A and B are shown apart, each in its own frame.
Chain A
Amino acid sequence: MIVRILGEGQLELPASAAPELNQLDAALEAAVDRNDEEAFRPALAALLARVREVGSPAPPGDLRPSELIIPQPDASMAEVRKLLTDEGLIPG
Chain B
Amino acid sequence: MGVMKRVTMVFRAKANRALDRMEDPRETLDYSYQTQLELLQKVRRGVADVATSRKRVELQLNQLQQNSDKLDRQARDSLAAGREDLAREALTRKAGVQSQLDDLQQQYASLQSEEEKLSQASQRLQSKVDAFRTRKETIKATYTAAEAQTRINEAFTGISEEMGDVGMAIQRAEDKTAQMKARAGAIDELMASGALDDMVSGPHDDIQAELDRMGAGHGVDHELERMKAEIAQSAPRQIEGAAPASSDGATAQSASSAPAADPAQAGEPE
* Interface positions of A (Cβ within 8 A of B): 3-4, 6-7, 9, 21-22, 25-26, 28-29, 32, 47, 60-72, 80, 83-86, 88-90, 92
Interface: B161 (CB within 8 A):
yes
Shortest Cβ distance from A68 into B: residue? B4
* Cα distance, A71 to B172, chains bound together (Å): 13
Please name 15 pairs of A and B residues whose Cβ atoms are closer than 8 Å in the assembled complex, sorted by A. Answer: A6-B7, A7-B121, A7-B169, A29-B2, A60-B127, A61-B130, A63-B128, A66-B8, A66-B11, A67-B8, A70-B3, A83-B7, A89-B14, A90-B171, A92-B35
* Cα distance, A58 to B157, chains bound together (Å): 16
How many contacting A-B pairs (Cβ < 8 A)? 103
* Cα distance, A29 to B127, chains bound together (Å): 32
Cβ of B155 and Cβ of A63 under 8 Å apart?
yes
Chain A residues lying within 8 Å of B135, measured Cβ to Cβ, are: 63
Interface: B132 (CB within 8 A):
yes
Chain A residues lying within 8 Å of B12, measured Cβ to Cβ, are: 65
Q: Is the interface of A mostly helix, strand, loop or mixed?
A: loop
Q: Say how far B157's CB is from chain A's closest CB, in angstroms.
A: 4
Chain A residues lying within 8 Å of B75, measured Cβ to Cβ, are: none
Task: Choose among A7, A63, A72, A90 the residue with the greatest number of B CB atoms under 10 Å from its CB.
Answer: A63
Interface: B167 (CB within 8 A):
yes
Cβ of B4 and Cβ of A70 under 8 Å apart?
yes
Cβ of B131 and Cβ of A21 under 8 Å apart?
no
Of the residues A25, A61, A89, contact of B2 by C-beta under 8 Å: A25
